[in-house]
Homo-oligomer: A and B are copies of this chain.
Amino acid sequence: MTTESLKFPVIGSDALKTAFRMHASGVAIITSHDDDGNPIGFTATSVTSLGSNPPLVSFNIARGSSSYPQLIVGREVALHTLSAKNLELAQRMAGPKEERFTQGDFELVGKLPVFPAASAVLIGKVRERLEVEANAVVILDVLHGTEQLEQERPLVYYQRGYLTATERLADNS
């Protein structure tokens, strides 16, 4: 146990980028609506569970994002998990805003746009927004969701591209 072999020469945001290039993320889509009922949504790679009692989900968003002002406390949100089959949807929802809801592949659940092709859909409500510098952690209360589907190949973001995970290494015993 010495410190001889370890060096940390990369500083600040460059260090963050270097490390996160090596970190895979699951790909999800968040949708909601604005005050006029127009659908909004985007691809997110920061979706994570924040405990099951009560059931909570968190994701991160830039406060400068056009979606952020719509994600007010109490607003309903649909969280979609994605499989390899949903690659085009993930790319579209990360692309130009005006093209995101033009394919007719969503349904309205009340005012909430939902993509049935997703591997799972979770409906929640914004509970709290924790603002940190130029970003925010958005916490959702989970309300209800779709039934379990058969296993799919998950869509993963890694090294600036989309992959799927197929090689199972070990079960969590």
Contact = CB atoms under 8 A, between A and B. Distances in A.
Q: How many copies does the complex hold?
A: 2
Contacts of A8: 109, 121, 123, 143-146
B172 A168 contact: no
Nearest to A90: B170
Question: Is the interface on chain A under 10, 10 to 19, 20 to 34, or 35 or more residues?
Answer: 35 or more
A142 B18 CA distance: 12
Interface string A41-63: 00001111111111111101010
Given A108-B3, A132-B139, A154-B158, A26 B24 contact: yes
A133 B46 CA distance: 20
Interface string A1-23: 11101111111110111111111
Contacts of A163: 165-169
